[in-house]
Amino acid sequence: MRRTEHWFEPARFGLFVHWGPWARAGWEASWPLVGGVVTLPLGQDIPAATYHANAAGWQPDPAAPEAWVAAAAAAGMRYAVLTTRHHDGYALWPSRHGDHGVAKGAPGVDIVAAFVAACRRHGLKIGFYYSLPDWHHPDYPAFTDAMRPYVFGGYQAATPEQWARYQAYVRGQITELLSDYGPIDMIWFDGAWERSAELWDTVGLERLIRQLQPDILINDRLPGQGDFATPEQFVPPEPPATPWETCLTMNMSWGFNAGDDRYKSPAALVHTLCEVAGRGGNLLLNIGPDGAGRIPAPQAERMAEFARWMGRHGEAIIGTKAGLKPWQFPGPTTCKGNTLYCHLLMQPVAPVSVRGVPVQHLKQVSVLGHDGPLPFETRIPVLDELMHVDGPGEVVIDVPEALRDPVATVLVLEFDCDPARIAPATES
Ligand code: GLC
């Protein structure tokens, strides 16, 4: 059994939380410190001294994670991933390594502990995002205004002594995170592009991590290692061969970016979850709480829409596998045992067809969330009908308007065999 099959693949839906001192100022996470990046067009450009001065005054509220995780649980999410330390180097737990974080900035506060406790209370699996680069650490070395603009590939190198100290710092922090908070389900790396796998010593890091937490999952941003792929901000046209997770923002920013109101609609976000699940992947949907830890209103509204939709349709997402091929239904499909879930993401203008399924094994059709079977018709090739061949055919369903969901309707087709079975059953 693949490591990801235990809880990660069945989970399908998780919460990403980008929270750090930037939220206090309403800036995008970390990138303003280096002058921005093209992929985050609404990010700011803030001089290093100003950027770090903002962190010094931040008092993160340890009560905040409870509300995020409660919202995630209500939305049907099964795990959550928190930025324990983003590229700007600010540690959300009282690390004994380095001097940038709550240890100095907000003594007595441990946001990681509060997050872990909230996840355990709500039964969510626990993930720690950790940036390999630290743009504040003197040995990395720290990013200064003289290094602007940020150039991919043009990073300041550390001396061997600096790098040895930096590696000890990273290993020290990872050891704390994976020793002091009980069982942790996932570590989510980022930023590896700034150094080679050899310099990061990804092999050594992987060994350390699995010593500390044998069952943990590691994402693929620890080059050469990792249990799952992490396409960012898009649904891959061809699903990766490995288990995968699309990470996605609701607007154009990861952190709380006060001026960013370019939101995807609640319906578009629900559709993305259906598409991702239909291709056998996970969706890690991001929120960027404000400095006080509150979920911004447009994000809370989207979480509420997920709570509504998943409340009725969660069984078509959680615990499912990828369904049929795209030509078989005009929308994504998911499977659980002999049950096929057909996600209708548009209002049909005619009865809809599910093609190439073992129609003679179809027991019942219904609309998820509504009691009672729905009438359906089946068609098979004429000769198969005449010769009594148990082959694939087409199911035609007229979906009554009253049963349609305003965002996405799910048709449930229950078979007494694998719905993806195409070949006729062999005579025994
Ligand atoms: C990118 C960004 C980072 C963000 C991450 C999430 O790598 O650098 O800001 O946290 O994507 O996937």
pLDDT over 70 (residue 424): no
Neighbour count for residue 401 (Cβ, 10 Å): 7
Mean pLDDT, range 122-130, rounded to an integer = 99
Mean model confidence pLDDT for the chain: 96
pLDDT over 80 (residue 307): yes
Residues 6+ apart with CB under 8 A from 179: 212
The closest alpha carbon to 3, from 272, 234, 289, 210, belongs to 210
Q: What is the pLDDT of residues 38-72, one digit of tens each?
A: 999 999 999 999 999 999 989 999 999 999 999 99
Q: What six digits make up the tokens of 284?
A: 């890690």
Q: Give the Å distance between the CA of 259 and the centre of ligand 1.
A: 19
Q: What single-letter DSSP state applies at residue 90?
A: -
Q: Give the Å distance between the CA of 190 and the centre of ligand 1.
A: 7
Mean pLDDT, range 166-192, rounded to an integer = 98
Q: What is the pLDDT of residues 359-403, one digit of tens each?
A: 999 999 999 999 999 999 999 999 888 898 898 999 999 999 999
Residue nearest to atom 5 of ligand 1 (CA): 190
Q: Is 232 in the pocket of ligand 1 (CB under 6 A)?
A: yes
pLDDT over 50 (residue 248): yes
User: 3-state DSSP call for residue 397?
Assistant: strand
Q: Give the Å distance between the CA of 7 and the centre of ligand 1.
A: 24
* Confidence (pLDDT) at 324: 95
Between helix 266-278 and helix 297-313 the angle, nearest 10°, is 50
* Domain definitions of the chain by residue range: 3-316, 323-415
User: 3-state DSSP call for residue 172?
Assistant: helix
Q: What is the pLDDT of residues 182-191, one digit of tens each?
A: 999 999 999 9
CA dist., res. 410 & res. 331, Å (int): 10
Work out which ligand 1 atom sits closest to the CA atom of 230.
12
Instruction: Give percent helix, percent strand, percent coil of the chain, each to the nearest 5.
Output: 30, 20, 50
Residues 6+ apart with CB under 8 A from 382: none
Token pair 């229950």 in the structure block, residue: 414
Q: Is 190 in the pocket of ligand 1 (CB under 6 A)?
A: yes
Q: What is the pLDDT of residues 203-213, one digit of tens each?
A: 999 999 999 99
* Confidence (pLDDT) at 420: 87
Q: Is 245 in the pocket of ligand 1 (CB under 6 A)?
A: no
Tell me which of 84, 186, 190 to substitute to probe ligand 1's pocket, judged by most ligand atoms within 8 Å of the beta carbon: 190
Q: Is 254 in the pocket of ligand 1 (CB under 6 A)?
A: yes
CA dist., res. 3 & res. 138, Å (int): 37
Mean pLDDT, range 244-259, rounded to an integer = 97
Residues in the chain: 428
Fold (CATH) for 323-415: Immunoglobulin-like (2.60.40)
Work out which ligand 1 atom sits closest to the CA atom of 131.
10
Work out which ligand 1 atom sits closest to the CA atom of 37.
8
What percent of the chain lies above the pLDDT cut of 70?
99
Asked if 395 and 365 count as a contact pair (C-beta separation under 8 A), the reply is yes
Q: What six digits make up the tokens of 350?
A: 């005619």
Residue nearest to atom 8 of ligand 1 (CA): 191
- The residue ranking higher by pLDDT, 227 or 385, is 227
Per CATH, the homologous superfamily of domain 3-316 is Glycosidases (3.20.20.80)
The closest alpha carbon to 3, from 211, 204, 185, belongs to 185
* Confidence (pLDDT) at 212: 98
Residue nearest to atom 4 of ligand 1 (CA): 254
